[in-house]
Structure 1
């Protein structure tokens, strides 16, 4: 895979990647990549510039995004290709003898993109940062020793216990399977179904708690694949979650 990087001829000389090059990275249609860039931009997640390339055919409008925003675009299109993008950036940096700080900053961009796209819990984000520090041979002493995962509005000063949907439904005798429960939660906007590509190239689906659902649970990073989340639910708010979905009627 050959990714050609360009530098905009502007006053800040910002290094960017084009929508055509991103399409090549993720093996996607160029128009699909452009639509994704437009959508992310409309949500205020990224910014982009555009140029018109003239060839033998019709002029082609091409979008350009900076390094950090290229990770967000690729994470949205096909998270499994993010590693290839990081590898290519590292190869280019190596040619110019980058500092450890520059490499670390690159990894942080990826971590930030993953955290924002997957709504990762603070503990999962901390774990990711610790791994990044280890990979780059840096000390993680400046990072907090631990983080507090708790429901929004909680007054506890320590992390609250969580469990999987299967365990929670069993403990509360909800009388519904985890699979049916997940579908019910999706109708209430508590979770959403995302996809990623497996190592064999097949599409793999998984559930991720939405921003609206973070009052009831947290997203853990799957230890087998960081591009996938595992939903865990706070014990202290699980009854309210069951009530919110109509599975339990709260006493008047």
Structure 2
């Protein structure tokens, strides 16, 4: 068998060769190729089916020509087997080339996807550390990435342990009948180093969004939950069993 080297291009997300190239490789005129393709096209029942084999294009030099897919090559080159013995070898060469490139592109796409997944999980880990998210919020981020990348649901985190019962500051102030607004509470926490204000850029505008986050010192009395409004914001919640101790500390400093 004559060993032939053929060229296949990746155009518009499809592997194809050209009708002019095939004409040259078969040793026939381009008009012969076009006539054969037009005869073959008449056998199809829709343009959509035709495009799985032959894609019409306009070329300044050759006028109308075609991009030919793997399916089209097998059909087109086979039509010339009675004219030239080269058709058989050329068909085999094209099939081998298409198969190799399909495998290469699939491997490349898989590697790029795996790299994208790794980078997303690395970014989530870095964000979690910077935002000081609690384990529950880290699990939310992980599970969200698992859904986005359509990974196995077995990887999802179903349970995370907290160091205590968590509640919002407003609900705890009310529960313990503390005559203090949530705003005043946050202000005292910030003055005493338990809480800090962070900023992020809005996704839709150039505005800067501000939000509260517990510091390392503050994490003794609560946890940073991921905000229900935006995963790039924290929502501090506090341990019920340590809340009065925290109130005592910030009040004593104020007094």
Larger radius of gyration: 2
Residue 239 of structure 2 corresponds to 234
The verdict on how the C-alpha distance between 1:148 and 1:203 changes in structure 2, with shifts beyond 3 A counting, is same
Shift of residue 166, structure 1, vs aligned partner: 1.0
Give the secondary structure class of the aligned counterpart of 2:251.
Answer: coil
1:162 pairs with 2:166:
yes
The separation in 2 between residues aligned to 1:177 and 1:95, in whole angstroms, is: 58
- 3-state SS of 2:153 partner: coil
* Greater percentage in helix: 2
Which consecutive unaligned segments of at least 5 residues does structure 1 have?
A: 1-93, 151-159
Match of 1:208 in 2: 213
Instruction: Give the structure-1-normalised TM-score.
Output: 0.54
Q: Report the Cα distance in structure 1 between the residues aligned to 2:181 and 2:252, rounded to whole angstroms.
A: 12
Q: State the shift of 1:222 in Å.
A: 1.1
Tell me, what secondary structure is at the counterpart of 2:232? strand
Aligned length: 146
| Counterpart contact for 2:146–2:155, Cα < 8 Å | no
Name 2:185's counterpart in structure 1: 181
**Which residue matches 2:109?**
97
Give how far 1:172 is off.
Answer: 1.4
Alpha-carbon separation, structure 2, partners of 1:138 and 1:119: 26
Question: Is contact 2:194-2:214 (8 Å) kept?
Answer: yes
2:158 equivalent in structure 1: 145
Question: Structure 2: 5+ residue runs without aligned partners?
Answer: 1-105
Q: Is the 8 A contact 1:104 1:133 kept in 2?
A: no
Task: Indicate the residue corresponding to 1:222 in structure 2.
Answer: 227
Deviation at 1:101, TM superposition (A): 3.1
Note the aligned Cα RMSD (angstroms): 2.1
Aligned equivalents of 1:205, 1:104: Cα separation in 2:
29
Alpha-carbon offset, residue 246 of structure 1: 2.1
Q: 3-state DSSP class of the match of 1:245?
A: helix
- 4+ residue segments displaced more than 6 Å: none
Shift of 1:115: 0.5
Match of 2:142 in 1: 129
CA distance in 1, matches of 2:131, 2:144: 18
1:73-112 paired onto structure 2 within 5 Å:
96-99=108-111, 100-112=113-125
2:233 match: secondary structure: strand
The match for 1:190 among 182, 191, 194 is 194
TM (norm. structure 2) is 0.53
What is the CA–CA distance in structure 2 between the aligned matches of 1:236 and 1:95, rounded to whole Å? 54
Q: Contact 1:103–1:136 (CA<8 Å) still a contact in 2?
A: no
